[in-house]
Amino acid sequence: MSDGPEADKAPEIAQGEEKRKDREWQIERGVAIRAGFYIFGTHLFAGFVWLLFYLGEHGHK
């Protein structure tokens, strides 16, 4: 019969699973944002270094 205490646990399990999926999605989103910042920062630094070499090559001697 479904009148026992096990019947009451089904909604709690569904809520727990939904919270876990939401947390996993937040973690994945955080990793994607962090990776984007690292990629952007690396390109920005590389562009700055390239600019230094360009200015050094074309500077007055």
pLDDT tens per residue across span 12-47: 676 777 877 788 888 899 999 999 999 999 999 999
Q: What is the DSSP string of the chain?
A: -TTSHHHHHHHHHHHHHHHHHHHHHHHHHHHHHHHHHHHHHHHHHHHHHHHHHHHHHSS--
Quote the mean pLDDT of the chain: 84
Q: By percentage, how much of the chain surpasses pLDDT 90?
A: 49
| pLDDT on residue 45 | 98
| pLDDT on residue 19 | 79
